[in-house]
Amino acid sequence: MAIDKPWGGRFTQRPQREVEIFTSSLSFDRRLYRQDILGSKAYAKMLCRVGLIDKNEMKIILSGLDSILEDIEVGKFNFDPGDEDIHMAVEKALIARIGEVGKKLHTGRSRNDQVALDLRLFVREEIDEIIVTLKDLRRTLIQLAKRELNTVMPGYTHLQRAQPVLFSHYLMAYDCMFARDLERLENCRERTNVLPLGSGAIAGSNLPLDRRYLAKILKFPEITKNSMDAVADRDFVVEFVFSCALIMMHLSRLCEDLIVWSTDEFKFVEFSDDYSTGSSMMPQKKNPDVAELIRGKTGRVYGNLVSLLVTLKGLPMTYNRDLQEDKEPLFDTVDTVKSSIKNAKGMLNGMKINRERMKEAAYGFTIATDIAEYLVMKGVPFRDAHRIVGEIVAYCLEKRKSLSELDLKEFKEFHNCFDEDALKNLSPDDSVRRKVTEGSTSPEEVRIYIEEQERKLFS
């Protein structure tokens, strides 16, 4: 006698309880209930359109699915741990509510193309939400950059003071990263936005399923071209998680800078109390825990990406139960990146900027390159100018002076090309103001970039 499972016709023994627990994904894929019901409603309409069910049967199925959705939304739906996944849970409930007609919904459909659809719907929705939150973060960066357009700080290479830059230029460097992240998400959405439903388990169907009609109802501009690839493909999930991993990497780098800059050794920035925590032992501490957790959570998103790649790397065509393992890394990535972006935005909104300390730190030898370029403008080959300024720096270190403290006589001891005008541009403010290349840290170039991005984001 067949067992009581949707696939149990050829089986005479139920799976062991341990097997049922081990193979069940309902505890986490129940999160796809909205997508699953949305796809099932579209599928019922299509079955009616092609004559596989009549209009009355379609209405009964749609009404049953709506009642299941409502019960889940209000917390009244009883999820049975014995059901394998969200697809089986919904179908079982539907049959229990509307009777025999509920058994017709799965006509021509497999859980293989059903879950592929659910995942594409889910990823498409989440991409749209993350794009909104990422744009909000960029707007916050732009507003902060506008406010700090005259704030000069030392730029760093190798974590050593390099050249003076505008703090707004630094912020817009991260905006460039997040702009690329948006482009990647938008491109990923295009490849995600392809309908797999109607591919069946592997080979398509002998039934006259209208996939183009399904695509129209579910707002997919394209349908998959190969039924085997349609049920096996998780590239869009990997690509999405990869895009999220890059977002997290950019957030982590930003947080690393701000964590360092919030220390007493730098004192460039101070996090607001509501985005900081204290020490349980040391009363004086104010810890940048939000920034540190964003930095730390980046690693788990990387882990999710690697997990997906490893799961997929050895799978034979087409669908394999291993693919059940794609959802938890995907869901965790979505939750992590959305909360990280939102917390980063709040952290930046409340952050105090110590302009005086930043400017003070920009003095010293950060204008050395400016002096070398001054000599180049006087006709000195750059390699000679580089050596000359290096010797001037060594002299300053010996005499415990900064470059701005030297007089013309001292400069001329190193090269006779130095004139009075050499003494007029020895401050960090002069350094950023004199930049002329496109994309540089000059106030005008930074302002142009900000205005361009504002038009894109606020229009």
Q: Can you give the C-alpha Rg of the chain in angstroms?
A: 31
CB 236 within 8 A of CB 163: no
CB 344 within 8 A of CB 275: no
DSSP classification of residue 15: P
CB 269 within 8 A of CB 258: yes
Tokens of residue 128, six digits:
């749209």
For the cut 90, the answer to whether the pLDDT of residue 17 exceeds it is no
Tokens of residue 108, six digits:
């021509």
Is residue 400 classed exposed, middle or buried when 0-12, 13-18 and 19+ CB atoms within 10 A define those classes? exposed
Q: At which residue do the structure tokens 């001054």 appear?
A: 374
Alpha-carbon span 141 to 108, nearest angstrom: 51
pLDDT value, residue 414 = 97
C-alpha separations of 74 from 36, 68, 71, 82 in Å:
17, 10, 5, 22
DSSP classification of residue 1: -
Please state at what angle helix 86-98 crosses helix 55-73, rounded to 10 degrees.
Answer: 120
SS3 417: coil
Residue-averaged pLDDT of the chain: 95
Amino acid at 264: D
DSSP classification of residue 30: G
Of the candidates 179, 155, 174, which has an alpha carbon nearest to the alpha carbon of residue 254? 174
Terminal alpha carbon distance of the chain: 66
pLDDT in tens, 380-417: 999 999 999 999 999 999 999 999 999 999 999 999 99
Look at 31-35, 63-67, 455-459 and tell me which has the smallest mean pLDDT.
Answer: 455-459
**276 catalytic per annotation:** no
DSSP classification of residue 80: -
Strand (E) or helix (H) holding 352: strand 352-353
458 confidence band (pLDDT: 50, 70, 90): confident
pLDDT in tens, 244-295: 999 999 999 999 999 999 999 999 999 999 999 999 999 999 999 999 999 9
CB 334 within 8 A of CB 126: yes
DSSP string, 121-183: HHHHHHHHHHHHHHHHHHHHHHHHHHHTTT-EEEEEETTEEEEEEEHHHHHHHHHHHHHHHHH
Tokens of residue 390, six digits:
């290096």
pLDDT in tens, 107-127: 999 999 999 999 999 999 999
Catalytic residue among 63, 87, 158, 440: 158
pLDDT value, residue 459 = 74
The answer, as to whether pTM is greater than 0.75, is yes
For the cut 60, the answer to whether the pLDDT of residue 90 exceeds it is yes
Alpha-carbon span 226 to 22, nearest angstrom: 31
Alpha-carbon span 349 to 132, nearest angstrom: 17
Alpha-carbon span 172 to 191, nearest angstrom: 29
Catalytic residue among 279, 402, 404, 431: 279
Alpha-carbon span 401 to 125, nearest angstrom: 59
C-alpha separations of 249 from 86, 127, 153, 159, 337 in Å:
33, 17, 24, 18, 10
**158 catalytic per annotation:** yes
For the cut 70, the answer to whether the pLDDT of residue 338 exceeds it is yes
DSSP classification of residue 274: G
CA atoms within 13 A on the CB side of 2: 7
Question: How much of the chain exceeds pLDDT 90, in percent?
Answer: 92
The helix, strand and coil proportions of the chain, stated in percent and rounded to the nearest 5, come to 65, 5, 30
